[in-house]
Amino acid sequence: MSSRSEAEGSSELGGYEVLVAVCGGIAAYKVCQVVSTLVQRGAGVTVAMTESATRFVGAVTFGALSGRRVLTDLWAAEASYDPQHVRVTEALDALLIAPATYNVIGKIAGGIADDMVSTLVSAATGPVILAPAMNTRMWENPVLQQNVQKLREHGYRLIEPGEGWLACRTVGSGRMAEPDEILDVVVEQLKSAKPKNRGQ
C-alpha cells in the first residue's frame, strides 16, 4: 500500500479550511499528528502559535506539516505588510485550539486579545473547538471552570481532557485528549456544513 498514493488521492476534507492554534504546553507535540492527518485528508490547515508554544515545538515543524507559513507574531505580519493574520479568519470552517491552556482560556473568556492566537480567536466567526491541557489543580480551579462554562454558553466546543500521567509527574485529570479523539471532533464539525470557500 502506497502512503504517497493515499495522500495524493485524499480529498475527503477538500475545500475545508482549518486554523489550528497551538498554545504553550508539553501536549503541543500531539498536535503535530492532528495537523498532519488533516492535511493528508485534504483540508487546508494554517497553524498559529503563541510564543510559549514555540518553546515546545518549533514553527518549522508545523510549517513542514501544513505546507504553509506559521503565524506567530502580529508585529512580524504587519512589518511585512501581510494582512494574513486578519484574512485567515474570514473563510474558516473550524478553529481548533490545542493545547488550550489555563492562560488562553482565561484570555478568551475575558475578551483579551494580546497575541497572535487570542487575536485570531477574537476575529473568528466560525466554530471554535478547544482541547484543554493543564495540571489537575488548574483544571479543577473554580475560576477556570467558570471560564469554561462561559465559553460553552457562547457556543465554544470543548473536548474534555482525560485522566493520566501529566507533565507535573502526577496522575490526574487535565491530560489533553489523544489526537484521534480530537480529529474525530474536528472532522465531525467540518462535515456538519459545506466548506465556506467551495466554488470560489
Q: Is 65 left (phi over 0), alpha (psi -120 to 50) or beta?
A: alpha
From the CB of residue 129, how many other CB atoms can be counted at a distance below 10 Å? Answer: 21
Length of the chain: 200
Q: Is 32 a catalytic residue?
A: no
Give, to the nearest 10 degrees, the angle between helix 142-153 and helix 102-110: 50
Q: Report yes or no: 124 and 19 within 8 Å, Cβ to Cβ.
A: yes
- Helix (H/G/I), strand (E/B), else coil: 22: strand
In the set 168, 178, 183, 196, the catalytic residue is: 168
- Looking at the DSSP bridge assignments, the partners of residue 20 are 47, 96
End-to-end CA distance of the chain, in Å? 34
Residues carrying an active site annotation: 168
